[in-house]
Amino acid sequence: VTRRPAAGLAAALLALAVLAAGCGGGDGDAVTIYSGRTSNLVGPILERFAEETGISVDVRYGDSAELALLIEQEGERSPADVFLSQSPGATGYLAGTGRLARLDQGVLDLVDERFRNADGLWVGVSGRQRVLVYNTDLVDEADLPDRVEEVVEPPLAGQVAVAPSNGSFQDFITAMRVTQGEEAAAAFLRGLAEADAPTYANNNAIVEAVGRGEVPMGLANHYYLHRFLEEDPDLPAANHRFDGDDIGALLIASSASVLEGSAQADGAQQLVEYLLSAEAQAYFAEETFEYPLATGVEPPSELPPLETLEVPAFDIDELGGGLERTLELIRDSGLDG
Amino acid sequence: VGAAAAPPLRLLGAVLALGFAAPLLFLLQQAAAVGPEVVAAAVDPGLLAPAARSLAMAGGAATAAAALGTAAAWAVTRTDLPGARGWAVVLALPLALPSYIGAFTLQAALAPGGLTDRVLGVALPRVEGWWAATTILALLTYPYVFLLVGARLRQLPADLEEAARLLGHPPRAVARRVVLPQVLPSVLAGSLLVFLYAVSDFGLPQLLRYDTLTRVIFGSLLDRPTSTALALQLAVLALLVAALHRAALGRVARGRPGTSAVRTGTRWRLGRWRLPAVAGVAALAVSALGAPLGVLAFWALRGVVSGSGRAGSVLQDPAVVTAPLLGSAAAGLLAAGAATAVVLPIAYLSARRRDRVGEVAHGVVVTGFALPGLVIALALSAFLLRGPVALSWLYQTLPVMVAAHVVHFAAQSLQASQVAVLAVPDRVVEAARTLGVGRVGRLLRVELPVMAPSLLAGAGLVLLSTVKELPATLLLSPPGFRTLATDVWAATTDAFWAEASVLALVLVALSAVLTWLLVLRRADALA
């Protein structure tokens, strides 16, 4: 007799939950988005798109690389229409498998050539910049470096944390290989290893460690600090930008692409176009502290405007390939992941 | 025992094994598609070191968890420990914490400049590497041993122990010579689960920067030859350990332990050991559960106090919590029920009949737990969308997501199911048969009631694992389906600590309620 309430409760819970799960169900006419960017970052703007156009959207969130592998396995019957990627590597991988369709020229033209694929397979939507995050209690502003190479030289050597297993750090190394040559990139990595640079799992861990003073400085993406400060305004940490023409100040784009053979190709192209509209771009600038990449949209007040921001001249398509070579360099450098 | 299994049962076992083999077949097919590069990567000496590290970390964690879990289970089920029923729930809960949350919070608490440093003034070295990974894994996974051994201890008949005591053996000798041999299969089963969990986990070694197989796999996901080769290494490692486990089990479980559901083991009086026992159990609960929850509560409060909009929205809009809460509950209950049902025939074949089909199925089920959830999700998507069109409509529906969870986690209920199947006394079944009770009747009225505590313990393990599962839920869930785990992951990815903390606390609370309702309360009632 004692078991009945438990079993009943479990059954009721289950029924309710299955019902709830069923209600969220797919819609044949919806544009299906596989998003490597989290719901916190893009969910609100995707909802606004659905409201304004009347086109319903189904979003599947996940890790960019894992979603790229999923789309590859799904093959021609993939439900995905649009792929939003956090990392250039995942988009580049899909482009390599021939799964991406060419975007409309009108959509491509919304973005500066620096931030889109040469073959028109993807466009950059929002950008994050590589910066040096430092602990304001431990580091004097006057001692901050102008160029990223300085972090492997005295007196900074060993004081700057990196995240070798993180995609953004790897993108930065790829960019360094392309702009300054294999030897320079290899020497930089060796320098980090020889200086025993503290290493962490990802950007979050670096900002957290710098904030609590475990390490004075670290290489990270600019927007993590903004989010930490929102929850802990007293965190003694600040971002420092390298010189505009230095590869340390690389701007990495999150990207949007449409899948080849999408059953909702029109809606998909419309969605990508909407993400580059003034409204959506302002959302990224104000709500997620990112650089808007559509031409003519102002970045958030605390960031320098993109036109005046000198970003290192660099072919962004290079980030889509060559990751294997970068991983090999990192492995060979002896830098402890 | 030893009698040939009925052909229909063997056929069922073979079909189920084939389903569980999907991820293995997928990896082999991938290896064939990529070509000889996979073989080169698989035997590259530089890529063997990660396998050794996986082995070192998982072996260490399994050993430590075996000791912690057995001691805690003994204290809770077999002594007059004050508040034993409460501890039984609390000590099971670390399993509800996703390991990346556990690792991140403990790291934040213990690291230089962290909470212990600031509040207590105790500066510890950086929390990373083998020691940190092994210790934290053991703290988060000892409940595998705790729950299985606890279920077994509750079922053990009292007569043997009482006989030993009457013959004048001191308590310690009774524990070692009478009780320990009978619970050893459960200790081994729990340790195997800890081991498999450890080798398949990515979040924890990633945060604590210990270069295991999974860390290299996820670090080179898009480098297909390397990631495929290392995933195959992981599968081979799991098969070897499963075989080793079977061999060890054959050694320790020579005679099948008899069970009478009439009267179970006596509780020992702790006497002067009362205080140390309470202190030990409390220390375990504080370091494995209290510390991570404390850090989460601190972050949640800090976010709310500083007026973070995201933390506030969780408190103001209950839907932020209820939708993923229902999703987690549904995923967990469905996977737990399905896994228990699906492995019962396999457990019967392998444990009771020592059937070849059962043995093979057992090994295949075990590898499912050792492989990352991502591999299982990719395997199911490839087979569903590249097979007959008729199967395609199942893709990204609730049944397929549950199937992925079952393939991934059924090994957890398999261990418990085997204990359950062995607990059914032959003579009782024979008696029922003699009395003319049919096969189904015997199963429902005779065997299931005897097996229930162990089956429930196994189902509980699957449930606790499923509510924190991430990759298969993300890739295979129906559109719009959310769980607490997916929302916690999204919030931590974006460094919204307050929101992540609130959701993680809800996740632990849900696990606590479900564990108590479905596993512990009934297990006590039935023991």
| pLDDT tens over chain B, length 527 residues | 445 557 888 899 999 999 999 999 999 999 999 888 888 888 877 778 889 999 999 999 999 999 999 999 999 988 889 988 889 889 988 988 888 888 888 887 887 667 777 777 777 777 788 999 999 999 999 999 998 888 888 777 777 777 877 888 887 788 788 888 888 888 998 999 999 999 999 889 988 888 899 988 888 888 888 889 999 999 898 888 888 887 877 766 544 445 444 556 667 788 888 899 999 999 999 999 999 999 999 888 887 777 666 656 666 777 778 889 999 999 999 999 999 999 999 988 887 777 788 888 988 998 899 899 999 999 999 999 988 887 888 899 999 999 999 999 999 888 778 878 887 888 887 888 888 888 788 888 888 888 887 788 888 889 989 998 999 999 999 988 989 999 888 888 877 778 888 888 999 888 888 877 766 665 544 33
| Distance between A116 CA and the closest CA of chain B, angstroms | 21
Q: Are A246 and A148 in contact (CB under 8 A)?
A: yes
Which range (A74-78, A181-185, A320-324, B22-26) has the least confidence?
A320-324
Is the pLDDT confidence value at A207 over 60? yes
User: What whole-number distance in Å separates Cα of residue A37 and Cα of residue A92?
Assistant: 16
Cis peptide before B50 (omega within 30 of 0): no
Q: How far is A10 from chain B (nearest CA, A)?
A: 8
Please compute the mean of the pLDDT values over residues A216-226 and round it to a whole number.
92
pLDDT value for A304 = 60
A48-57, A213-222, A230-239: least confident range: A230-239
Give the Cα separation of B229 and B214 in Å (integer).
Answer: 11
pTM: 0.88
Do B378 and A39 lie within an 8 Å CB cutoff?
no
Nearest CA in chain A to B113: A212
Q: Which two tokens stand for residue B166?
A: 């009457």
| Average pLDDT of chain A to the nearest whole number | 85
Kindly tell me if the per-residue pLDDT of A1 is higher than 50: no
CB atoms B333 and A200 under 8 Å: no
Chain B residues within 8 A of A214 when measuring between CB atoms: 111-114, 126
Q: How big is the CA angle at B386 (ends B384 and B389), to the nearest 5 degrees?
A: 75
d(C-alpha B340, C-alpha B410), whole Å:
7
CA distance B98 to B80: 32
How many angstroms separate the CA atoms of B145 and B68, rounded?
Answer: 8
Classify A217 as helix, strand or coil: strand
What is the C-alpha radius of gyration for chain B, rounded to an integer number of angstroms?
23
Which is it for the CA torsion A156, A160, A165, A171, positive or negative? negative
List Cβ<8 Å contacts ≥24 apart for B511-515.
B511/B93, B511/B95, B511/B96, B511/B463, B511/B464, B511/B467, B512/B89, B512/B93, B512/B96, B514/A10, B514/B329, B514/B332, B514/B333, B514/B460, B514/B463, B514/B467, B515/B89, B515/B92, B515/B93, B515/B96, B515/B460, B515/B463, B515/B464
Q: Predicted confidence band at A112 (pLDDT cuts at 50, 70, 90)? A: confident
Cα B524 to Cα B261, B265, B458, distances in angstroms: 12, 13, 15
Cα–Cα dist B58/A247, whole Å: 40
User: B266 by DSSP, 3-state: which?
Assistant: coil
**Taking a C-beta distance cutoff of 8 angstroms, is the pair B87, B81 a contact?**
yes
Q: Is the peptide bond before A5 cis (omega within 30 degrees of 0)?
A: no
Q: Cβ of A227 and B377 within 8 Å?
A: no
* CA distance to partner chain B, nearest, from residue A336 (Å): 9
- A148 to chain B, closest Cα gap in Å: 24
* pLDDT band per the 50, 70, 90 thresholds, residue A2: very low
Residue B222 has its nearest CB partner, among A89, A205, A209, at A89
* pLDDT score at A135: 96
**Residue whose C-alpha is closest to residue B9's, from B336, B353, B339, B335:** B353
Question: How big is chain A by its Cα radius of gyration, in Å?
Answer: 22
Identify whether the C-beta of residue B370 lies closer than 8 Å to the C-beta of residue B238: yes
Which residues lie across from A221 on neighbouring strands?
A130
Alpha carbon distance B300, B302 (integer Å): 6
Q: For this complex, say whether ipTM is above 0.90.
A: no
Please report how many Cα atoms fall inside a 13 Å half-sphere around the Cα of residue B242, on the Cβ side. 26
Residues B208, B211, B213, B217, CA torsion sign: positive
CA-nearest of A275, A262, A255, A257 to A52 is: A275
β-strand A160-161 against A217-221: which pairing, if any? parallel
Q: Partners of A254 in the beta sheet?
A: A126
Is residue A280's pLDDT more than 70?
yes
Q: What angle do CA A101, A106, A109 make, to 5 degrees?
A: 100
A189, A330 contact by CB (below 8 A): yes
Chain B, residues 179-218, CB within 8 A of chain A, namely 206-207, 209, 211, 215
Hey, are the CB atoms on B330 and A21 less than 8 Å from each other? Answer: yes
